[in-house]
Amino acid sequence: MRFTVLAFALAAFVLACKSTGEGSVPSAAGATSALVANQPIKADVAHAGYPSDAEVAEMREAFFNRPAENEEVFRVFVTSDGFTRKQIAFNENISVKEDLAGDQAIAEEFRKFDMVNSLQEGQIRVELYPTTGKPYRVRQSKPSIMKETDKIMSDDITRWQLQFAKTEIVPKDFRVSYQVVLRKKITREQALKILSEQNKKKK
């Protein structure tokens, strides 16, 4: 079941803080990198330390080094600290123009979700106009557990400036796989503040 993570995660985080009596975010020390993609977010693990930078790097490399799937051309790995894209097929035909500022902006979109430890994974199907090479249809082929992740990643595809080495648009239909790692970095006070602001908007 897919869900909106923000309110649930905040409630889970606050509950965990109250039950442990802790008001600060645990460090990454002792954290496990064994995050499994698209697992439900549970309150009883909200107190765990978050994956370290080294562990996140290992997760990124494992994702990028997996065997290619049918029609898969790009893979994207995102945390709130950075955005990395790898091309795994059609290297002689298509590429994406570098946009470091845009990449960083997408990464920062996930800062507001860094209140839980979670690995989100999904895949997007992209269909291009055969004459211009611009996207005319972008849709989820494999959704993640989190609706916000899928929306951000799908919307991001329209930012990409696709470049073609030849006059022919190849490929016209391809897939983009992505992983988004959320790491719980906020304090109890920050969680309470965001939750309070959300409740005010609903009234």
- What pLDDT, on a 0 to 100 scale, did the predictor assign at position 40? 78
- What pLDDT, on a 0 to 100 scale, did the predictor assign at position 187? 66
**Amino acid in position 46:** A
Q: What is the greatest pairwise CA distance in the chain? A: 63
Q: Are 9 and 113 in contact (CB under 8 A)?
A: yes
pTM: predicted TM-score of the whole model, two decimal places: 0.78
Pick from 194, 105, 116: which is nearest to 155 by CA?
A: 105
- What pLDDT, on a 0 to 100 scale, did the predictor assign at position 79? 96
Ordered DSSP codes for 101-140: HHHHHHHHHTGGGTTS-EEEEEEEEEEE-TTT--EEEEEE
Distant-in-sequence, close-in-space partners of 168: CB < 8 Å, separation ≥ 6: none
Can you give the pLDDT of all 203 residues of the chain as single tens digits? 555 555 545 544 443 333 333 333 344 444 445 688 888 776 545 445 788 899 999 999 999 999 999 999 999 999 999 999 999 999 999 999 999 999 999 998 888 888 889 999 999 999 999 999 999 999 999 999 999 999 999 999 999 999 999 888 999 999 999 999 999 886 667 756 765 765 666 56
- Cβ-count burial of 115 within 10 angstroms (0-12 exposed, 13-18 middle, 19+ buried)? buried
